[in-house]
């Protein structure tokens, strides 16, 4: 038996890369994992190899109704949400295979990065908090980056999203304190190949 026996954990961006690895480890530790990302087929492939009961719930983190659907499906299937891992993320590197100076960032690229990396975290967190507050228990883990505390050229949208994420995490922690809910950001460190 693992240390997370029967905990219910939602992981965004669970179809590949870090999200897939986190999902596998949580399941190995005994958690029931709800896998969400846009690609249902990839999610199902990950879920098929998990040792614990899981739920595949495809959604775009930028879509409020889809996000709420994931949380509702989780509560219907498992009765609660113990932990939310906001892992889904995108950067200029993942979109263009290169960093771009501010003058070359399109509005569409800026919006995509901020919407996935920050708005998606807000939508998922907002959807799970009432359930956690009712139980006076829960954890929100936001996958951040060293670029949530430092800046680098050619990554304005990503840096802005991660600085925002760090601030948002602190607010969630402050507001959750009286409700038994913890919030932390996690910096995996280094450059990760998230496309595997």
Q: pLDDT (tens digit, 9 = 90+) per residue, 44-63?
A: 999 999 999 999 999 999 99
The total of structural domains in the chain comes to: 1
- Residue 191 belongs to a domain: no
Give percent helix, percent strand, percent coil of the chain, each to the nearest 5. 50, 15, 35
**pLDDT digits over 113-125, tens only?**
999 999 999 999 9
Q: Which of 78, 122, 124, 158 is catalytic?
A: 158
Say which CATH number the domain at 154 has.
3.40.50.720
- Residue 196 belongs to a domain: no
Answer yes or no: is pLDDT of 193 > 60: no
Phi-psi region of 11 (alpha: psi -120 to 50; beta: other; left: phi over 0): beta
- Residue 86 belongs to a domain: yes
Q: The whole model's pTM is what?
A: 0.94
**pLDDT digits over 25-49, tens only?**
999 999 999 999 999 999 999 999 9
- Residue 12 belongs to a domain: yes
Planar angle of CA 115, 46, 129, nearest 5 degrees: 45
Annotated catalytic, 158?
Answer: yes
Provide the residue range defining the domain that includes 168. 8-186
């Amino acid at each position: 038996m693992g240390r997370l026996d029967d905990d219910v954990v939602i992981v965004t961006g669970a179809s590949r890369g870090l999200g897939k690895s986190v999902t596998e480890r949580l399941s190995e530790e005994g958690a029931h994992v709800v896998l969400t990302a846009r690609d249902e087929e990839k999610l199902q492939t990950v879920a098929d190899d998990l040792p614990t009961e899981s739920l595949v719930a495809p959604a775009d983190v930028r879509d409020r109704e889809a996000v709420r659907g994931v949380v509702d499906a989780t509560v219907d299937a498992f009765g609660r949400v113990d932990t939310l891992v906001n892992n889904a993320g995108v950067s200029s590197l993942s979109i263009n295979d290169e960093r771009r100076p501010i003058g070359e960032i399109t509005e569409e690229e800026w919006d995509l990065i901020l919407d996935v990396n920050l708005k998606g975290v807000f939508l998922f967190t907002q959807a799970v908090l009432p359930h956690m507050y009712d139980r006076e228990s829960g954890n929100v883990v936001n996958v951040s980056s060293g670029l949530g505390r430092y800046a680098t050229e050619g990554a304005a949208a990503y840096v802005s999203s991660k600085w925002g994420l760090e601030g948002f995490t602190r607010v969630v922690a402050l507001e959750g304190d009286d409700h038994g809910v913890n919030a932390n950001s996690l910096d995996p460190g280094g450059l990760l190949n998230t496309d595997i």
